[in-house]
Amino acid sequence: MGRRVAYWRQRRGMSQQVFADRIGKSKSWVDKIERGVRRLDKYSVITELAEALSIDAGQLLGREPRRRPGLGGCLDQVEVESIRQSLERYERLGRFLEAAPIESTPIPELRGSVNYCWLAFEKGHYPVVARSLIQLLRDTPVAEDRPVGGSSADAAELMTQVYQIASTVLRKLGEAQLAWLAADRAISAANRGNDPLLAGIATTRVANALRALGRHQAALDLNVQVAHGLISEFGGENSTPAQISVYGALLLQGAMAAALAGDGTTSGDLLDSASRAANILGRDANYYYTSFGPTNVMVHRAAAFVELGEGGDALAVHDRIPPAALADLVAERRAHHHLDMTRACVQVGDMERASRHLVTADRHAPAEVRCRPVAIELIDQILHRTKGEPAQDLRRLAEEVGALN
């Protein structure tokens, strides 16, 4: 139980001293509880600790709540609310808001923190991402206003990346409005920097948030217009690999928007254009965290078929993806693809294969399954449509996310 106290205290961003002050105990008492030197044997004390940590007492006792848990890899509502509050703060207006001045973090240090946040995101470690975001959403605006070790433009380029990560994670969690707000901030910050490719990638975040809000045509138009503008500016096929990657990422997201709008022809055309761009690269890369290349084009082609309701075609594309190439993609992307293939299997009525894809997704990046509403819904569908007992691995997963009645 002491380890659980320490885990949740750290997730809430509290030191032992701050936590001790909140519950009216000494730092030494908290330290002994967390190390197991002192036992927690009074339920009244356990509930007091849980209240201070903004969790249910059952979570300290080892009983996770049903459905949207803090299952070791999910953001809970307290963390989402902390990100919301970070998005709503305006540290640069501190002199007008009578807020205490915040010391500016050196830009090289911020750059390291942003890179760490990207790495955590690509591995699907969303609580780590949340803690990083909350701090970075506070620090990057201050750094742009009072840059140390770099320029304001450098800080703005870091800020757009922070907003982009926030937008993507929030969209995955079903927080579409917050995702749109973060993406819109990303565009503004990108335009204050000196790197037009960051503005291109920020465009995909805005378009993805629009898709989550049901604005499929607006998302399609935005992606395609910016893609064509970028490639015209950079010189077509003579562009650098990074430029081609951003151009290709815009095309892929445009293809997904078209598929969601039910326009299979436009989706296919955009995927073909993205495939030609990927062939110029000749390999999968990760410029600007795009994971763009021939494999990711195939992954998106399969996903587009799923959105069009063509599960059989989606699975046929999946079967043509070389396993080694798929394994080279980042964990978040692999897990996302297996979730899409789970949907494809459900569409064609193959619950056994759907179970395998879902369990594979959980193995690659558990948060992609345990935190996303779409994944919980898929578990429900598979359980209800499976004849007889579900596969043991799926049953275990369903129990862990609270999907078994």
> Are 347 and 282 in the same domain?
no
Q: In this predicted structure, what is the pLDDT of residue 69?
A: 40
Residues 282 and 360 reside in one and the same domain: no
Higher pLDDT, 397 or 252: 252
Q: Is residue 200 part of a domain?
A: no
- Whether 204 maps to a domain, the answer reads no
* Of the residues 63, 90, 117, the one at which a domain ends: 63
Give yes or no: residues 172 and 240 share one domain. no
Residue 309 shares a structural domain with residue 223: yes
DSSP structural state of residue 99: P
Domain identity same for 298 and 243: yes
Give me the half-sphere count of Cα atoms (radius 13 Å) on the Cβ side of residue 88: 7
Above 60 in pLDDT, residue 338? yes
Structural domain of residue 364, as residue ranges? Answer: 341-405
pLDDT of residue 237: 63
Q: Is residue 381 part of a domain?
A: yes
Among residues 158, 192, 226, the one where a domain terminates is: 192
- Cβ(284)–Cβ(328) below 8 Å: yes
Alpha carbon 203 to chain centroid distance? 16
Is residue 201 in some structural domain? no
The span from the CA of 54 to the CA of 21, in Å, is 15
Structure confidence at residue 62 (pLDDT): 67
Domain CATH for 57: 1.10.260.40
| Torsion angle of C-alpha atoms 204, 171, 340, 126, degrees rounded to 10 | 110
Residue 302 domain flag: yes
In a domain, 203, yes or no: no
One domain for residues 325 and 359:
no
pLDDT tens per residue, range 174-212: 888 889 999 999 999 999 999 999 999 999 999 999 999
Counting the structural domains of the chain, the total is 4
In a domain, 209, yes or no: no
Check whether residue 317 and residue 352 sit in a common domain. Answer: no
- Are 150 and 234 in a shared domain? no
Do 166 and 93 fall into the same domain? yes
Contact (CB, 8 A) for 271 and 286: no
pLDDT at 66: 44
The C-alpha atoms of residue 257 and residue 210 are separated, in whole angstroms, by 9
Give Cα 58 distance to the centre of its chain: 27
Residue 335 lies in a domain: no
Cα 390 to chain center, whole Å? 29
Mapping DSSP to helix (H, G, I), strand (E, B) and coil, where does residue 211 land?
helix
Domain co-membership, 306 together with 360: no
| DSSP letter string, 286-337 | -GGG---SHHHHHHHHHHHHHHTT-HHHHHHHHHHS-HHHHHTS-HHHHHHH
* Domain edge (last residue) among 25, 42, 63: 63
61-65, 185-189, 341-345: which has the minimum mean pLDDT? Answer: 61-65
The tens digit of pLDDT for each residue in 310-329 reads 999 999 999 999 999 999 99
Nearest to 197 by CA among 66, 104, 323, 287: 287
Asked whether residue 144 falls in the same domain as residue 85, the answer is: yes
Whole-structure pTM value? 0.80
Whole-angstrom CA distances from 138 to 3, 91, 135, 351 are 29, 7, 5, 45
pLDDT averaged over the chain?
88
- Do 223 and 137 lie in one domain? The reply is no
